């Protein structure tokens, strides 16, 4: 019986050992790809490393935010006044809720200073006290907030909430891009590899399946790599998007609650 070595048939993806064909490994198929295929695999490797870096960083961020948000909401519900709540917020690590709370209190301080004769030193370390005294006399009476002041505080809360959400969305665009373009990179490598395999068939003058199959298998490696990069990116993108939506909804509810608390205290 004539062996494959004697016929001169070249099997790109096969490993010949003692005249017998053994199944090639993934690494052997990667090495056997064309320069175009290896270039695409290198690009996909870079996308994969960056994607997993973003995924791990985001997982740590959201894991920390969950405990910090719960800690702040617990602290915010206990004090009897905004002044006490502000002091409690200072002891909690920064998170979207504390930043929105501080933005609201800063706007309240600005409005209070604009509508009274009190100096900045009275508010030092506590922008939302009730009545302040200088020389034993009350200098900031409790006054109801006007419609314009209410809208100003609401805009400050919404602006800070939007900024916090935007910071959480950092990196999501890259995940979305990776999930979209990685399969097309893989497809490009596959098409190029198949084209190269068929050109080799034409040069050898043989269309035998033993000649065609190895080259096509090597070409499909880039498609597998593209999907392996895209699938985690898409899953992570959808997961983080749902987490950000949850935080955004929580910020909206908290902003409304904080505004109502401010209105109640100023009416008192």
Nearest 5°: the CA angle 62, 65, 70 is 135
The residue among 121 and 147 whose pLDDT is bigger is 147
The model's pLDDT over 27-41, given as tens digits with 9 standing for 90+, comes to: 666 666 667 878 888
- The single-letter DSSP state of residue 135 is T
- Checking if the pLDDT of 119 tops 90, the result is no
Task: Tell me if 26 sits within 8 A of 221, measured CB to CB.
Answer: yes
The model's pLDDT over 41-63, given as tens digits with 9 standing for 90+, comes to: 899 999 999 999 999 999 999 98
Q: How far apart are CA 96 and CA 29, in angstroms?
A: 49
Q: What percent of the chain has pLDDT over 70?
A: 68
The model's pLDDT over 58-89, given as tens digits with 9 standing for 90+, comes to: 999 998 888 888 888 877 776 667 777 778 77
pLDDT of residue 208: 65
Q: Other C-beta atoms within 10 Å of 56: how many? A: 11
Residue in the block written with tokens 């997961």: 239
Q: How far apart are CA 222 and CA 30, in angstroms?
A: 9
- Helical spans, DSSP H, in the chain: 4-7, 26-32, 35-77, 82-90, 96-114, 147-168, 172-204, 209-267
Measure Cα distances from 253 to 77, 158, 249 in Å: 14, 11, 6
């Amino acid at each position: 019986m004539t062996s494959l070595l004697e016929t001169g048939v070249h099997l790109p993806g096969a490993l010949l050992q003692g005249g017998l064909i053994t199944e090639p490994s993934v690494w052997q198929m990667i090495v056997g790809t064309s320069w175009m295929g290896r270039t695409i695999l290198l690009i996909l490797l870079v996308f994969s490393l960056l994607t997993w870096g973003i995924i791990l960083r985001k997982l740590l961020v959201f894991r920390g935010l969950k405990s910090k948000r719960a800690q702040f909401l617990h602290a915010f519900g206990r004090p009897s006044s905004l002044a006490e709540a502000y002091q409690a917020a200072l002891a909690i690590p920064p998170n979207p809720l504390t930043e929105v709370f501080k933005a609201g209190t800063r706007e309240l301080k600005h409005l209070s200073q604009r509508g009274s004769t009190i100096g900045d030193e009275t508010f030092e370390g506590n922008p939302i006290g009730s009545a302040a005294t200088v020389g034993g006399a009350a200098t900031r009476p409790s006054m109801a907030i006007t419609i314009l002041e209410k809208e100003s505080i609401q805009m400050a809360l919404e602006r800070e909430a939007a900024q916090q959400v935007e910071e959480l969305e950092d990196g999501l665009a890259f995940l979305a891009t990776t999930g979209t373009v990685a399969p097309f990179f893989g497809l490009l490598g596959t098409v190029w590899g198949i084209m190269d395999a068929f050109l080799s068939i034409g040069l050898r003058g043989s269309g035998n399946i033993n000649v065609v199959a190895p080259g096509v298998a090597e070409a499909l490696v880039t498609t597998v790599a593209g999907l392996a990069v895209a699938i985690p990116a898409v899953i992570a993108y959808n997961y983080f998007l749902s987490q950000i939506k949850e935080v955004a909804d929580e910020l909206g509810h908290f902003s409304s609650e904080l505004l109502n608390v401010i209105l109640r205290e100023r009416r008192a």
